[in-house]
Amino acid sequence: MKHKHLLISSEFKKTPFRETEFTKSWIWDLVKKIDMEILYAPRAVRCDKEGNEGISAFCLITTSHICLHSWEKTDPNLIQLDVYSCKDYDINIIIEEIKKFEPLSLKYKFIDRLEFNEDIL
């Protein structure tokens, strides 16, 4: 069993994730592209609270989850994306999907959650 956790932070002039239907569809397609199975279909909601305006979305996959948050009033706009799975997947597919939106920056961190520090108990 794998424990792969990809964290992406990306900035945009204008985030592509401004509409809930688009965001749900994009996550649905991403699940297929990384060869995962949907356990609970993508859900997306808009937050209009001042300072936190944007879309939050998630999808449960049979091996864990995908979640995305976007901030459309920051300058530049920001998205944060998490993909966690106990099944192996190609992180480059996800990175390339974000690059299609022509981000100003794209940073990622990959964590193998089996590689923890020594047990402290």
Give pLDDT tens digits for 4-55.
999 999 999 999 999 999 999 999 999 999 999 999 999 999 999 999 999 9
Structure tokens at 19: 């509409």
Full set of structural domains in the chain with CATH: 4-112 (3.60.90.10)
Calculate mean pLDDT across residues 83-97.
96
Calculate mean pLDDT across residues 91-115.
94
Based on its alpha-carbon atoms, the radius of gyration of the chain, rounded to whole angstroms, reads 15
Q: Which pTM value belongs to this model?
A: 0.91
Q: Tokens 């999808």 identify what position? A: 59
User: SS3 for 37?
Assistant: coil
> b vs e for 50-73, b when ≥16 Cβ sit within 10 Å of the residue's Cβ?
eeebbbbbbbebebbebbbbbbbe
Structure tokens at 99: 């690059």
